[in-house]
């Protein structure tokens, strides 16, 4: 990758972080933390985005960021007061800024009307007296042409100048320079000898500038001859080492104009008295005429500071002093060899430590993925080796067996460490949510405040990437269906602003995401009647409150009378549930009338490995995810009751659970052996329904590396994924829910005690 | 001899841009993420030239420059500040704090190297 | 990696030929990753009869397809001489179970004839052409059509 492109990637990564900081700061301000540090941090975030965008020539982004920054600058310098309304405006502006960043990145487009309107609002907030009628330049520029995010030349020198013209009304006139330049050109025609008189003030040295360096710079324009006038030098005992006493007079021969000479003194403007005259000797009239040319300068001075080349040197120059010494009269002529600059006061030692300021290593994620794959292979190989050794009947106390144990330990540790490298805090997903909540609340007329917890909870990258959609849906649902309107809330004696809490935590080796609202809770009667009306359940089915709540996950269920733009988007909770299940996760809802609902989503910490129970079914080895297994048992004959023509149920304590022969369901065999001859695994499906899976034998529990079937083949119903066992053979990982569903669909079971999902 | 330049900027993008321009011109580059960090790095690497941003957390550019200028060991190190054209007052404040010169953002790599050459011994 | 497109008649291509029952078939050598002896596969449930299952190929899960069954002939009973040819078909890698590998052929495209119309649907679908060489008739398999389209499962 091109180095600049790589920096651009960094820039957009940094933008993500800065946008998160920006939003975090604004939210803190919303909560009343508007101390100077917070406001400064908010300002810096926008400032840095603008700075980077300027370097890459991302014009529309720079323009918008500039207007935004100007307002924030006014806020932090207390020119305007901070108010809740202003913070709300800033939050909305941060959303627009985020859109600009995305657009600059090539992801999505900015609604330029929205951007222009926002820019106009920001300007009015910055300066209420600004004429709002004036067309917003931000709108004007990019509307006609699509924002030009084509790779512009990376370095745009004039970016800020253009901005100032358009946006700030800074009305400086670079014309003054043209005047100087013309004067300089004239000088060249006359001859190319100049006399430059430099009288440094002590400030020049205080800022680590050096006259020697100025002379060196002058010598780049042409041959110089420098003379030192030290007549002002006091006697040694009176010398202030920090003061400046000498005047240099330099004869310069150059074909460059005066502008080029002045540029040499750009950094010492004001820190030395400078006279530049054409010709050998500083004839007073020449100097006077030069000053004449620059006569209007005083009026332009404030603007001229802005000019890329510092014109005001002339304006600031003192009245022509006869003191300017003629070179001939210099008592101690000390011609300085132009190319031999004096040694600086303190020559810093060169230290060969190239270490950058940070101890963070950035690594291509693909390398880590590769490493994780390899460690997966190592785990499998180690297991294979252990199994072979076991087959040879080597005693567990032998050196070989003990060495293998250690190898296993190490392998497991390596695997954990490598997984930890790829683990990321859920923050990256969470930080997108405040904006979502604002937008959904706006759209639905609700007032909602998002409270987040556990943003630093870490989870494997493979899972992080899949969290965003379900969280988005749960939040939308919580605001759209959970929260009441402000009026309803007031009537119910609640704060008109509803609270939605998004939390992440680790629980028993899984990551749990909770979305909780303090709304009205699920209207169970209504949910039940809809489910009946849509034929999802039979009317006389008795359901617990919890079961009714979870009906909203049934395919084809949607409580919204019409598909609303917010929760709907053509996607129901059933789709969310299915996508969660595909990841080996589960989702459920609990609700209390009048007090709100809680969605709970749990997912494995990684999609790379899984804890499973290895079982035998009809000569095949299968892995059942441990997370689904409630218990394993050996059923007694009297606990098994036939139900209907083919089905049977297992009595587990005081409830009856359908018995499912895995071999039969997956078509490994035509008829099931007696359940009493096998082992029963009591499993729980994602909807909380239980089933008793019959297997022939259990081999024990094992962590397995998940392998995709889809990579080279396709999804197979009833199978979640594959893995490779210690003997080197592929074993399939059972999709418990799919097996339960297959059974329900399979040979008709009229008395199926649980819900009948509509197909 | 390779010259060492210390860049002090809280923006990773800016640090990377500076590094690219400077390393390309043969400078040894050391970096710091804010003024405080800058002072630490300063004592470890003794740079020939310092380039600093103004808006930074913890210790901003003005404070950083002042701190460098009151330290007898470092006061002679030239410091260039990164400024924008839109804020002449900042440039002025930076000069008062003791900045040797300035670089206008967005900068051009040649101008940057030119500015360093101008102030570096 | 896609299947090589037919080139001009003067360019030679190399093919690997193999036996399926009494017939000879071949695939372009560029698509062949390796040839392996038979090892038992893990059965895939809910799958067509021509899918023999999956095996572990150096850490990847490789589906094994019974080529005979795929083109509508009786299923192959694997024996010690059976092999599978690991081929690249589109973005997937798949093992083709065949009775035995015969040899490597160098052909030019003018030796390749279109599949006769009378052939059954299955054959026309999977055979991209027939090669006549030294009195043998060898059918070239169209690899990209062997695997079914990936489909998302209906709930």
Give the model confidence (pLDDT) of A644-688 as tens digits.
777 788 888 878 899 999 998 888 888 777 777 889 999 987 666
Higher per-residue pLDDT: A384 or A736: A736
Sign of CA pseudo-dihedral C47, C51, C56, C57: negative
Q: Where are the alpha helices (DSSP H) in A544-694?
A: 545-549, 573-582, 662-665
Strands, E, within A568-618: which ranges? 586-592, 596-604, 609-617
Cα R_g (chain A), whole angstroms: 38
A348 part of contact set with chain B, CB < 8 Å:
yes
Out of A435-444, A545-554, C1-10, which region has the weakest mean confidence (pLDDT)?
C1-10
Higher per-residue pLDDT: A576 or A184: A576
A377 part of contact set with chain C, CB < 8 Å:
yes
Give residue-wise pLDDT tens across range C32-83: 999 988 888 999 998 888 999 999 887 789 999 999 998 888 888 888 778 9
Q: Using an 8 Å CB-CB cutoff, list chain B residues near A48.
A: 10-11, 13-14, 55
Place A281 in a pLDDT band, splitting at 50, 70 and 90.
low
Between CA A165 and CA A173, with CA A167 as vertex, the angle to 5 degrees is 20
Q: Is C124's pLDDT higher than 60? A: yes
Look at strands A679-684 and A609-617 and give their pairing: unpaired
Token pair of C83 as six digits: 């092999």
B58 part of contact set with chain A, CB < 8 Å:
no
Look at strands A272-278 and A193-200 and give their pairing: antiparallel
How much is the pLDDT for A570? Answer: 42
Q: Is B76's pLDDT higher than 70? A: yes
In angstroms, what separates the C-alpha of B15 from chain A's closest C-alpha? 10
Q: Does the ipTM surpass 0.90?
A: no
Total number of residues shown for chain A: 759
Higher per-residue pLDDT: A348 or A460: A460
Q: In what order do the strands lie in the sheet with A224-229?
A: A224-229, A247-253, A193-200, A272-278
Q: Is B86 within 8 Å of A168 when comparing Cβ atoms?
A: yes
pTM of the model: 0.49
Give residue-wise pLDDT tens across range A416-473: 888 888 888 898 889 889 888 988 888 888 999 999 999 888 888 888 888 888 898 8
How much is the pLDDT for A159? Answer: 38
How much is the pLDDT for A309? Answer: 38
How much is the pLDDT for A373? Answer: 79
**CB neighbours of A193 closer than 8 A, spacing ≥ 6?**
A251, A252, A253, A278, A279, A280
Look at strands A193-200 and A697-705 and give their pairing: unpaired
A683, A693 contact by CB (below 8 A): yes
* Residue in C with minimal Cα distance to A726: C56
A46, A68 contact by CB (below 8 A): yes
Measured between alpha carbons, how far is C145 from C150 in angstroms, rounded to an integer? Answer: 12
Best probe of the A interface among C1, C40, C54, C84, by most A CBs < 10 A, is C54
* Cβ neighbours of B74 (radius 10 Å): 20
Q: Is C137's pLDDT higher than 80? A: yes
Look at strands A596-604 and A510-517 and give their pairing: antiparallel
**Which among C41, C61, C148 has the least Cβ separation from residue A709?**
C61
How much is the pLDDT for C87? Answer: 94
A715 part of contact set with chain C, CB < 8 Å:
yes
Whether omega for the bond prior to residue B106 falls within 30 degrees of 0, making it cis, is yes
Q: Using an 8 Å CB-CB cutoff, list chain C residues near A371.
A: none
Establish how many alpha carbons lie within 13 A of residue A212's alpha carbon, considering only the half-sphere containing its beta carbon.
13
Measured between alpha carbons, how far is A43 from A65 in angstroms, rounded to an integer? Answer: 10
Pick from B107, B92, C44: nearest CA to A731: C44
Measured between alpha carbons, how far is A693 from A504 in angstroms, rounded to an integer? Answer: 32
Give residue-wise pLDDT tens across range A462-521: 888 888 888 988 998 899 888 999 999 999 899 999 999 999 988 767 789 999 999 988
B22 part of contact set with chain A, CB < 8 Å:
no
Q: Is B88's pLDDT higher than 80? A: no
- Exposure class string for A67-100: b at 16+ Cβ within 10 A, else e: bbbbbbbebbeeebeeeeebbebbbbbbbbbbbb
Query: Which chains does chain C touch, 3 or more C-beta pairs < 8 A?
Result: A
Between CA A154 and CA A158, with CA A156 as vertex, the angle to 5 degrees is 175
Number of helices (H), then strands (E), in chain A = 25, 22
In angstroms, what separates the C-alpha of C132 from chain A's closest C-alpha? 33
Give DSSP secondary structure letters for A281-349. Answer: S--HHHHHHHHHHTTTHHHHHHHHTTSSS-TTHHHHSPSPPTTS--GGG-SS--PPPTTSPPPPSS-PP
- Exposure class string for A119-152: b at 16+ Cβ within 10 A, else e: bbbbbebbeeeeeeeeebbbbebbeeeebebeee
Mean pLDDT, residues A82-101: 88
**CB neighbours of A476 closer than 8 A, spacing ≥ 6?**
A436, A440, A566, A567
A245 part of contact set with chain C, CB < 8 Å:
no
A153 part of contact set with chain B, CB < 8 Å:
no
């Amino acid at each position: 990758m091109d180095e600049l492109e790589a920096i651009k990637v960094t820039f957009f990564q940094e933008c993500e972080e800065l946008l998160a900081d920006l939003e975090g700061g604004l939210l803190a301000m919303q909560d009343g933390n508007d101390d100077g540090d917070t406001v400064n941090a908010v300002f810096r975030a926008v400032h840095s985005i603008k700075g980077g965008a300027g370097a890459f020539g991302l014009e529309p982004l720079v323009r918008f960021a500039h207007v935004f920054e100007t307002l924030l600058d006014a806020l932090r310098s207390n020119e305007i007061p901070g108010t809740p309304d202003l913070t709300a405006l800033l939050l909305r502006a941060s959303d627009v800024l985020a859109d600009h960043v995305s657009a600059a990145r090539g992801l999505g487009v900015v609604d330029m009307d929205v951007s222009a309107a926002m820019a106009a609002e920001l300007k009015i907030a910055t300066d209420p007296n600004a004429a709002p009628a004036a067309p917003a330049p931000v709108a004007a520029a990019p509307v006609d042409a699509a924002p030009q995010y084509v790779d512009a030349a990376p370095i745009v020198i004039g970016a800020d100048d253009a901005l100032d013209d358009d946006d700030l009304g800074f009305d400086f006139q670079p014309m003054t320079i043209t005047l100087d330049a013309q004067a300089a050109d004239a000088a060249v025609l006359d001859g190319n000898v100049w006399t430059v008189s430099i009288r440094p003030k002590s400030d020049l040295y205080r800022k680590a500038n050096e006259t020697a360096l100025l002379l060196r710079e002058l010598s780049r324009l042409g041959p110089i001859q420098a003379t030192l006038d030290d007549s002002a030098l006091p006697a040694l005992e009176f010398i202030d080492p920090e003061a400046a006493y000498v005047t240099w007079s330099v004869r310069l021969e150059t074909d460059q104009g005066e502008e080029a000479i002045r540029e040499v003194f750009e950094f010492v403007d004001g820190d030395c008295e400078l006279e530049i005259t054409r010709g050998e000797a500083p004839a007073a009239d020449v100097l006077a005429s030069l000053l004449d040319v620059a006569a209007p300068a005083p009026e332009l001075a404030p603007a001229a500071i802005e000019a890329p080349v510092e014109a005001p040197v002339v304006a600031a120059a003192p009245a022509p002093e006869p003191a300017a010494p003629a070179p001939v009269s210099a008592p101690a002529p000390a011609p300085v060899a132009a190319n031999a600059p004096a040694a600086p006061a303190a020559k810093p030692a060169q230290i060969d430590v190239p270490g950058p300021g940070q101890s963070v290593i950035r690594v291509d994620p693909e390398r880590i993925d590769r490493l994780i794959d390899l460690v997966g292979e190592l785990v499998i190989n180690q297991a294979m080796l252990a199994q072979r050794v076991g087959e040879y009947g080597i005693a567990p106390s032998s050196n070989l067996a003990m060495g293998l144990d250690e190898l296993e330990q190490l392998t497991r540790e390596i695997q954990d460490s490598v997984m930890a490298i790829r683990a990321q805090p859920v923050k990256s997903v969470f930080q997108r949510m405040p904006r979502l909540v604002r937008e959904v609340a706006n759209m639905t007329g609700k007032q909602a405040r998002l409270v987040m917890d556990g943003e630093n909870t870490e989870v494997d990258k493979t899972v992080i990437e899949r969290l965003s959609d379900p969280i988005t849906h749960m939040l939308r649902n919580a605001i759209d269906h959970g929260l009441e309107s402000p009026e309803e809330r007031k009537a119910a004696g609640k704060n008109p602003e509803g609270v939605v809490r998004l939390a992440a935590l680790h629980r028993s080796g899984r990551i749990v995401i909770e979305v909780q609202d303090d709304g009205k809770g699920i209207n169970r009667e209504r949910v039940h009647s809809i489910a009946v009306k849509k034929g999802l359940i039979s009317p006389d089915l008795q359901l617990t409150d919890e079961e009714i709540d979870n009906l909203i996950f049934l395919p084809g269920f949607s409580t919204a009378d019409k598909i609303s733009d917010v929760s709907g988007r053509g996607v129901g909770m059933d789709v969310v549930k299915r996508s969660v299940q595909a990841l080996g996760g589960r989702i459920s809802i609990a609700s209390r009338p009048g007090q709100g609902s809680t969605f709970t989503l749990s997912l494995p910490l990684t999609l790379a490995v899984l804890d499973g129970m290895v079982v035998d079914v009809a000569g095949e080895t299968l892995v059942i995810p441990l997370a689904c297994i409630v218990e394993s048992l050996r059923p007694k004959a009297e606990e098994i009751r036939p139900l209907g023509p083919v089905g049977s149920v297992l009595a587990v304590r005081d409830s009856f659970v359908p018995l499912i022969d895995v071999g039969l369901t997956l078509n490994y065999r035509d008829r099931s052996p007696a359940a009493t001859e096998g082992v029963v695994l009591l499993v729980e499906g994602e909807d909380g329904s239980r089933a008793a899976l019959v297997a022939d034998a259990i081999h024990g529990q094992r962590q397995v590396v998940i392998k995709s079937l889809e990579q080279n083949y396709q999804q197979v119903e009833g199978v979640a994924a594959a893995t490779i066992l210690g003997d080197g053979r592929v074993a399939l990982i059972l999709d418990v829910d799919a097996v339960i569903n297959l059974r329900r669909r399979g040979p008709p079971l009229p008395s199926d005690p649980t819900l009948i999902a509509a197909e | 001899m390779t010259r060492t330049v210390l860049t002090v900027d809280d923006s990773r993008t800016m640090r990377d841009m500076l590094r690219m321009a400077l390393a390309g011109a043969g400078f040894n580059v050391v970096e710091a993420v804010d003024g405080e960090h800058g002072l630490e790095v300063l004592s470890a690497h003794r740079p020939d030239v310092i380039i600093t941003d103004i808006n930074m957390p913890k210790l901003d550019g003005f404070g950083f420059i002042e701190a460098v200028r009151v330290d007898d060991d470092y006061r002679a190190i030239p410091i260039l500040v990164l400024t924008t054209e839109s804020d002449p007052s900042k440039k002025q404040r930076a000069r008062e704090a003791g900045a040797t010169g300035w670089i206008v953002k967005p900068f051009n790599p040649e101008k940057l190297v030119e500015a360093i050459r101008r102030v570096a011994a | 990696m896609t299947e090589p497109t037919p080139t001009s008649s003067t360019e030679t291509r190399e093919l690997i030929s193999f036996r399926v029952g009494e017939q000879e078939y071949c695939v372009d050598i560029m698509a062949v990753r390796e040839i392996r002896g038979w090892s038992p596969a893990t059965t895939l449930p809910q799958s067509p009869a021509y899918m023999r299952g999956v095996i572990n190929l150096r850490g990847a899960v490789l589906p094994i397809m019974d080529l005979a069954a795929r083109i509508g002939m009786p299923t192959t009973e694997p024996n010690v001489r059976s092999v599978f040819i690991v081929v690249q078909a589109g973005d997937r890698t798949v093992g083709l179970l065949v009775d035995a590998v015969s040899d490597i052929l160098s052909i030019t495209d003018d030796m390749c004839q279109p599949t006769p119309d009378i052939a059954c649907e299955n054959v026309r679908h999977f055979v991209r052409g027939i090669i006549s060489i030294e009195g043998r008739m060898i059918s070239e398999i169209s690899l990209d059509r062997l695997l079914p389209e990936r489909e998302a499962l209906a709930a």
